[in-house]
Amino acid sequence: MNSKVLKQTIAEIFANGKGILAMDESTPTCKKRFEAAGIPQTIEMYRQYRQLIVTTPGLNESIGGAILFDETIRQQTDDGEPMVKALMKAGIIPGIKVDMGAKPLPEFPKELVTEGLDGLRERLAEYKTMGARFAKWRAVITIGEGILTDACIHANVHALARYAALCQEADIVPIVEPEVLMDGNHSIQETYDVTEKVLKALFSKLYLFKVDLEGIILKPNMIVAGKGCPNQNSVDEVAEATVNCLRSAVPASVPAIAFLSGGQSPKVAAEHLNAINKNFKDRLPWIVAFSFARAIQQPALDVWKGESSNIKKAQEILSSRAKIAAAARRGEYNSVME
Ligand code: 5MM
């Protein structure tokens, strides 16, 4: 493992107040999003959409790294240029989702464990030759009646730690993503308690498997109440709970935290990130940025509708949402930007 290489990649991704764009939706997720937007769900339409993203003018002003899906890293733009090359030309570092999805955990109904460790060393070597400098693995943690169990936490953090160690062996920065879902009626306090427990278990496992904490990016959820909880909290309450939870469980040696948006609206996700960076500047030992998918992409996807005549407008919206996220990363977001 070359720690210098890992640190350099992280520094480049987050330079000048930039963040990460997650564009690594797997086929089932793409299908769901396209179906909802009334766009045909074909590999060619997925390619055209990814082309729209990687060729967006000015995207590199706010995006330092983009996470791709296996299908996309093997695809080309209409000009025959690999998507990765288009990103690199724009100064955006390509990353790759390497997990194989969250699957049912046997004997633990409704709980999931993310798979994909088998053959990962070889896959990482191939992705590296294709230009990927960082990777992503997402664990899915659900709060519900009778769940979450310790078995689910244990299985998922074990996989995350094994994945992270394999990435670092290949000089690829691992994004470590333990996502506590917003689905459910749970309160903000329950999200806090579960997230804290998961993060503590995660860092203990990362230590066990000798992962260099200075060479990872943590991608957590913000501390918000479940979508179905009648008591939703103010922006300042969410920011404070999120900062307290992270300070309690994330070592200061981690260089960067990049939040997922998790189904929050683009505006709310930006408001939360902004309040964290603005109100708690002196309490953050890490870079606190974003690795949003929906909170950057959704409005652009809705405008594009699969029509070439809408590409320019969709790209403007995508670029504007990315700029807003970057402003929030710096604590400079203002609702006038909406
Ligand atoms: C892009 O979505 C990623 C997961 O995709 P699959 O479920 O299809 O594998 C996901 O990990 C994403 O990177 C993060 O959740 C961030 O996305 P949001 O929409 O939560 O910001």
Q: Token pair for residue 118?
A: 């088998």
The mean per-residue pLDDT over the stretch 131-144 comes to 98
Predicted TM-score (pTM) of this structure: 0.97
Q: Which residue has the tokens 């930039």?
A: 18
Q: What pLDDT is stored for residue 80 in this prediction?
A: 97
Nearest CA-CA partner of 220 in 173, 168, 256 = 256
Fold exhibited by the domain 3-337: TIM Barrel (3.20.20)
* Residue range 197-226: mean pLDDT, rounded: 98
Question: What pLDDT sits at residue 235?
Answer: 98
Residue 178, amino acid: P
Residue with tokens 């791709």, as numbered in its chain: 68
Check residue 246 and give its pLDDT. 98
Instruction: Give Cα 189 distance to the centre of its chain.
Output: 23
The closest residue, in CA terms, to atom 9 on ligand 1 is: 26
Whether the pLDDT of residue 157 is over 90: the answer is yes
**Amino acid identity of 127?**
Y
- Terminal-residue alpha carbon distance, the chain: 43
Average pLDDT, the chain: 97
Q: Residue 139 corresponds to which tokens in the numbers above?
A: 């664990």
Domain residue ranges in the chain: 3-337
Task: Give pLDDT, residue 323.
Answer: 98
In the prediction, which pLDDT does 154 show? 98
Give 46-105 pLDDT, tens digit per residue: 999 999 999 999 999 999 999 999 999 999 999 999 999 999 999 999 999 999 999 999
Confidence band for 142, pLDDT divided at 50, 70 and 90: very high
Tell the residue nearest (CA) to atom 14 of ligand 1: 260
Which residue minimizes the CA distance to atom 2 of ligand 1?
A: 25
Helix/strand/coil (H/E/C) assignment for every residue in 196-248: HHHHHHHHHHHHHCCCCHHHCEECCCCCCCCCCCCCCCCHHHHHHHHHHHHHH
pLDDT band at 1 (very low <50, low <70, confident <90, very high): confident
- The residue among 110, 94, 215, 211 whose CA lies nearest residue 159 is 211
Instruction: Convert the pLDDT of each residue in 189-207 to its tens digit.
Output: 999 999 999 999 999 999 9
Say if ligand 1 is within 6 A of residue 294 CB.
Answer: yes
Question: Which residue from 20, 21, 23, 24 has its CB within 8 A of the most atoms of ligand 1, so it is best to mutate?
Answer: 24
Q: Measured between alpha carbons, how far is 312 from 214 in angstroms, rounded to an integer? A: 39
Q: Of all atoms in ligand 1, which is nearest to the CA of residue 296?
A: 21
Mind listing the pLDDT tens digit for each residue in 68-85?
999 999 999 999 999 999
In angstroms, what is the C-alpha Rg of the chain? 19
pLDDT given for residue 277 in this prediction: 98
Question: What CA–CA distance (Å, rounded) separates 291 from 67?
Answer: 9
Q: Which atom of ligand 1 is nearest to the CA of 30?
A: 8
Ligand 1 neighbourhood includes 290 CB (under 6 angstroms): no
Separation between Cα atoms, residue 92 and residue 298, nearest integer Å: 20
Confidence of residue 219 (pLDDT cuts 50, 70, 90): very high
Is residue 26 in contact with ligand 1, taking CB distance under 6 Å?
yes
Which of 230, 172, 164, 244 is CA-nearest to residue 203? 164
The residues carrying an active-site annotation are 219
> Does the Cβ of 25 fall within 6 Å of ligand 1?
yes
